[in-house]
A = this chain, B = another copy of it.
Amino acid sequence: MQQMEQIVASLREEGFRITPQRMAIVDYLLKTEDHPSAELIHKVIRKKYPMVSLSTVYKTLELLKEKKLVNEMDVEGEARFDAHTDEHINLVCMNCGKIDDVDEDSLKDIQVKAARKSKYLILKSSFELSGYCSDCKSKFQA
């Protein structure tokens, strides 16, 4: 679990400016358990900080992604973001769109094995399972 100060330090260190817009986006991403889209981040943040534009949200997410401070994932053609950057599995509900995280230590081993077999230099990982969450599952068993 990373903290605001770490992220701010990491950006400042490389000469990036700490703006209220960036703070707001990072703050929201750290506090939420969701995996929001750029659009949703924009919508939520505007309630508190009306002076944040959608293009700034996109640019900030791109920066955070590059610095590996957030992960990006794709759900049905839409990018979703997550500041929880430890190795984990994303569970995507195909009905309600919710995303849950599941910690799983063995992912690291798999990554190492795959790197060895393939001779790739691995920089990013994404483990995703899709289906129906416990709530939605019941609707399909009626």
- Give me the interface of A with B, judged by CB distance under 8 Å: 74, 77, 79, 89, 91, 93-94, 100, 102, 104, 106-107, 109-111, 113-115, 117-134, 137, 140
Contacts and interface: CB of A to CB of B under 8 A. Distances in A.
B106 A120 contact: no
B123 A132 contact: yes
- With most chain B CB atoms within 10 A of its CB, the pick from A74, A107, A113, A119 is A74
Contacts of A74: 74, 77
A121 B102 CA distance: 14
A102 B114 contact: yes
A129 B114 contact: yes
Given A126-B126, A126-B128, A128-B125, A137 B120 contact: yes
A133 to B, nearest CB: 6
A120 B129 contact: yes
Contacts of A123: 94, 130-132
Contacts of A134: 118-120
A104 B113 contact: yes
25 contacts: A74-B77, A89-B110, A91-B118, A91-B120, A91-B122, A102-B114, A106-B106, A106-B110, A107-B110, A118-B133, A118-B134, A119-B133, A119-B137, A120-B129, A120-B132, A120-B134, A120-B137, A123-B130, A123-B131, A124-B129, A124-B130, A125-B130, A126-B127, A127-B127, A128-B128
